[in-house]
Amino acid sequence: MKKMNINIVILAFIALSGMTSCADEKKKEVEVIEVEETQQNPTDAQKDQVVLKEAKVDFENEGTEMVFQSYLEVKNALVATDAVKAKEAARKLNESLKDISAEDSALKASEAIANTEDINKQREAFSPLSAEIEKLIEGSVSSGAVYQQYCPMAFEGKGGYWLSTSKEIRNPYYGTKMLKCGSVEKTFE
């Protein structure tokens, strides 16, 4: 009986020491992730690393395709936390939206992004822009897929949607802070 109790104590000690070292390793991993994710001013090389290559998607209408490609440029600039590129891409998007006589709400959202270099204001305007672009592309994908993605933490827990041609999450609302926060909610094919 004593031998069994000693074995139990030894096994418990080994298990506890294993948990402590795992906890220490996890703590180290979390510290590294926090440093990477809270970086406010990523370098150009880091910006390029966070953006995924977009898959090819075709639409029934060339105008819709131009709008969507410009939308992706805005999204990718926000993912990379690059307010200047987001502003430039939003200007291009706004012209594409005008070419197809898009809804005023889509134009206003793209103009809001194009008229500021404040990344937070750009991200706020991106949410209604995404909703407008979704309405525009729904039912018009002729090949490929567009994924509606969702981050439940965006906008202080209210959540935010965006569109992508990749299933892999690259969050435009948090960029490098929470790059992979989100999930695919819907697919347009």
pLDDT of residue 138: 92
Tens of pLDDT, residue by residue over 99-136, are: 998 899 999 999 999 999 999 999 999 999 999 999 99
Cα 112 to Cα 97: distance, rounded to the nearest angstrom = 14
Tens of pLDDT, residue by residue over 14-50, are: 333 333 322 232 222 222 222 233 344 545 544 445 5
* Pair 113, 123: CB distance under 8 Å: no
Q: What percent of the chain has pLDDT over 70?
A: 72
Q: What percent of the chain has pLDDT over 90?
A: 62
Of the listed ranges 36-40, 120-124, 143-147, 159-163, the one predicted with least confidence: 36-40
pLDDT of residue 52: 60
Q: Please compute the mean of the pLDDT values over residues 151-156 and round it to a whole number.
A: 93
pLDDT of residue 50: 55
Cα 33 to Cα 47: distance, rounded to the nearest angstrom = 16
Residue 12 has pLDDT above 50, yes or no: no
Q: Please compute the mean of the pLDDT values over residues 136-140 and round it to a whole number.
A: 92
Three-state SS for the chain is CHHHHHHHHHHHHHHHHHHHHHHHHHHHHHHHHHHHHCCCCCCHHHHHHHCCCCCCCEECCHHHHHHHHHHHHHHHHHHCCCHHHHHHHHHHHHHHHHHCCCCHHHHHHHHHHHCCCCHHHHHHHHHHHHHHHHHHHCCCEEECCEEEEEECCHHHHCCEEEEECCCCCCCCCCHHHCCCCCEEEEEEC
Cα 148 to Cα 49: distance, rounded to the nearest angstrom = 22
Cα 65 to Cα 41: distance, rounded to the nearest angstrom = 32
